[in-house]
């Protein structure tokens, strides 16, 4: 898995607009999805199963992880 992570095509969201605090995502074999800190490309990465990624993306898209209003 480490070799696959190192050789993957990582990308940031089109919403990141080149900011310094971004995460990068890579689609891996078997439908797995890698996520890492864009400032530390050689650092650790989280790897999600397809179901875990779908659940996270759905909940993030619905605003569930947004901070509470001030």
Per DSSP, the three-state class of 38 is: coil
Residue 48 falls inside a structural domain: yes
What is the domain extent for residue 6?
Answer: 2-14+21-61
Q: Is 67 a member of any domain?
A: no
Written as tens digits, the pLDDT of the chain (70 aa) is 777 888 899 998 777 766 667 889 999 999 999 999 988 888 899 999 999 999 999 999 999 999 999 8
Q: Is residue 69 part of a domain?
A: no
Strands (DSSP E) along 1-70, which ranges? 23-27, 33-37, 45-48
Say what the pTM is.
0.79
- Domain assignment present for residue 6? The answer is yes
Q: Is residue 53 part of a domain?
A: yes
33 assigned to some structural domain:
yes
Overall domain count for the chain: 1
Would residue 66 count as lying in a domain? no
């Amino acid at each position: 898995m480490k070799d696959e992570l190192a050789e993957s095509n990582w990308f940031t969201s089109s919403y990141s607009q080149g900011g310094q605090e971004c995460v990068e995502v890579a689609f891996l074999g078997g439908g797995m999805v890698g996520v890492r800190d864009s400032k530390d490309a050689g650092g650790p990465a989280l790897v999600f199963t397809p179901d875990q990624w779908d659940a996270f993306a759905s909940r993030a898209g619905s605003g569930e992880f947004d901070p509470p209003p001030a």
